Amino acid sequence: MTLARTWSVGLAGVHGAMVEVEVDMAAGVPQVVLVGLPDAVVRQSVDRVRAAVVNAGGSFPLRRITIGLSPAAMPKQGSGFDLALAAGILAASGAVPTEAVDRLVLLGELGLDGSVRGIRGVLPAVLAAARAGHPQVVVPAANAEEAALVESVEVLAADTLAQVVAHLAGRVALPRHVRGALPEPPAVPDLGDVVGQAAGRRAVEVAAAGGHHLFLAGPPGAGKTMLAERLPGLLPPLDEQAALEVTAIHSVAGTLPPEAPLVARPPYESPHHSATMAALIGGGSGQIRPGALCRAHRGVLFLDEAPEFPRAVLDTLRQPLERGSVTIHRAAGAATFPCRAQLVLAANPCPCATAAGDAACTCSALERRRYRSRLSGPLLDRIDLRVDLPPVTRAAWLDGYGDPETTATVARRVAAARAAAAERLAGTGLTVNSQVPGRLLRSRWSVPRSSLALAERALERGALSVRGFDRVTRVAWTLADLAGRPVPGPDEVAEALGMRLQRVAA
């Protein structure tokens, strides 16, 4: 009897978990038994490994082989275990030394020709290997740049199984992959392209400065999509920890481009209104994958034509928006993904959506009310800023040829406001005003009652909920940060209240 052990990594959400691969080889009828809760893809890996070993110039042992994947209670999913299974079988058969694979972590899918193919989730897998103290990781060459983001682990890139066997046998060592220079991020749309719409531009600036959710309503051509697309450019670049967190999500989702292994700017997601609940939030019948909301973590999720989304799908956003994370349960297990994104909704004022505005609208009052009711009250109550965008007039269009503020100019004000908020919130674990709990707003950073008089009257007459009152206070703090004031005054509270009690909320 011969026993060999090596390592791979399984994924649970965006976190990796070390998986010990044990291979026992004994006399008996030739067969392969795979235990440890493998899914269908992992079970099929036996056939891929057999063909890959033979086509790589080796011989697959004709003995009774038992492969155990530990911890046995954790479901194993995906094709990333192929390379580890092949190395374990070869070590147990004596083709390579068992000590060569004992502490090695191997990730990758095998083609039938012996090629090593790229997989999803390499970054969180390598991070898990680093936390567990493993010094070396073998990854597909297609994922080498992504894996090299973890500097504490030696990354060995392989194109074929034959290269891995030669390395394990001590004939030709795999070279350590050195990360190249990161490419320049693509240019973002400029806010200077937006003609007119002073209220919309102001709302986007406030949303960026405080991390607030935004609702834009207006006829076609008013600039709703243009404003939403320019919001990510106003947000500060991601720091190293945030960039790795966002990159891990996109790696698990399979949306990380090979030419840009690190997401350094806030992401932007804009799903079509036909998106399902699983596409928006996350899910899947097999391996649980993050949806658009999770992929927009630390960035912007833009839902154009928001009333056209199924109401049940939109309402699933409510709890994740409050918590900043979403947990998806399936029969095989559960996965938790971070989703602290800024939500931007856009909607036409009515079903006919005429570019000429209300003057040419043919919808009845009932039709308009029914159209607006597709966005539930509890969802809208979580939106801090609500802005009506009128049609762009000829005068505004001509004035647009002046010199509107660019993204760079507004981004500097946003950065200064965020710095002021971060200094005030230091020590709390919070970074932007939209994250401050209502309890702290009222106890630690209270606004003078004289400044809140207008908002209190709105609360008394039912125009604001208690949650809405707290959100007005948060926006007032953001406006004060933009103005360089230590405490919000009546003007900031009035502007914040006006941005919330727009006609779109009716």
The residue type of 403 is D
Peptide bond into 219 cis (omega under 30): no
d(CA 381, CA 476): 17
| Amino acid 198: pLDDT | 85
AA identity, residue 182: L
Residue 10 vs residues 139, 284, 368, 460, 487: alpha-carbon distances, Å: 14, 17, 50, 54, 49
Q: Which residue has the higher pLDDT, 246 or 467?
A: 246
Predicted pLDDT of residue 195: 78
What number of CA atoms fall less than 13 Å from residue 70's CA on the CB side?
A: 9
CATH superfamily of 191-408: P-loop containing nucleotide triphosphate hydrolases (3.40.50.300)
Give the per-residue pLDDT at 502. Answer: 65
Residues 6+ apart with CB under 8 A from 303: 270, 271, 273, 309, 314, 343, 344, 345, 346
* Residue 71: pLDDT band with limits 50, 70, 90: very high
The pLDDT assigned to 504 comes to 44
Instruction: Kindly report, residue by residue over 317-351, the tens digit of the pLDDT.
Output: 999 998 999 998 887 678 889 999 999 999 988 88
Per residue in 130-162, pLDDT tens?
999 999 999 999 999 999 999 999 999 999 999
24-36 pLDDT per residue, tens: 999 889 999 999 9
Identify the residue whose tokens are 């939403």. 228
What is the pLDDT at residue 185? 77
> Tokens 């002073």 label which residue?
198
**Selection from 262, 10, 302, 288 nearest residue 147 by Cα:** 262
Check: CB of residue 224 under 8 Å from CB of residue 386: no
Fold agreement between 2-168 and 191-408? no
Residue 395 pLDDT class (50, 70, 90 cuts): low
**Predicted confidence (pLDDT) per residue in 352-375, tens digit:** 776 555 566 778 888 888 888 889
Q: Where do the domains of the chain lie? A: 2-168, 191-408, 436-506
The span from the CA of 291 to the CA of 284, in Å, is: 10
* HEC per residue, 167-224: HHCCCCCCCECCCCCCCCCCCCCCHHHCCCCHHHHHHHHHHHHHCCCEEEECCCCCCH
Distance CA(50)–CA(53), nearest Å, equals 5
Q: What is the pLDDT of residue 358?
A: 59
- Give the residue-averaged pLDDT of 95-124: 95
Question: What's the CA gap between 300 and 342, in Å, rounded?
Answer: 5
CA-to-CA dists, residue 148 to 113, 122, 191, 334, angstroms: 26, 10, 35, 29
pLDDT at position 196 is 77
The model carries a pTM of 0.90
CATH 3.30.230.10 at 2-168, yes or no = yes
Quick one: pLDDT at residue 467? 87
DSSP letter for 298, please: T
76 pLDDT more than 60? yes
pLDDT number for residue 219: 86
Check residue 350 and give its pLDDT: 81
CA-closest candidate to residue 96, choices 35, 5, 28, 158: 5
Residue written as tokens 């269009």?
397
Contacts of 168 (CB under 8 A, 6+ apart): 87, 90, 91, 96, 97, 100, 101, 104
Q: Mean pLDDT throughout 98-108?
A: 94
The pLDDT confidence band at residue 503, using thresholds 50, 70 and 90, is low
Average pLDDT of the chain is: 90
